[in-house]
Amino acid sequence: MFYAATGAVLRAKGTMLFASIVLSLDLREWTPSRPASR
């Protein structure tokens, strides 16, 4: 039971980290102040 709980917590942390990275990348890509730098 303890192993399952730690696994769920680690999975939730990984999902949140991945979501924050994707959101930050999306915000950087779609910022209106920089229309098309590349």
Q: What is the pLDDT of residues 1-38, one digit of tens each?
A: 788 899 999 999 999 999 998 888 887 776 666 555 55
Burial state string for 10-29 with b = 16 or more CB within 10 A and e = fewer than 16: eeeeeeeeeeeeeeeeeeee
pLDDT digits (tens, 9 = 90+) for 2-12: 888 999 999 99
Q: What is the pTM of this model?
A: 0.51
What Cα–Cα distance (Å) separates residue 36 from each residue in 10, 20, 23, 28, 32?
A: 37, 23, 19, 11, 9
pLDDT of residue 14: 94
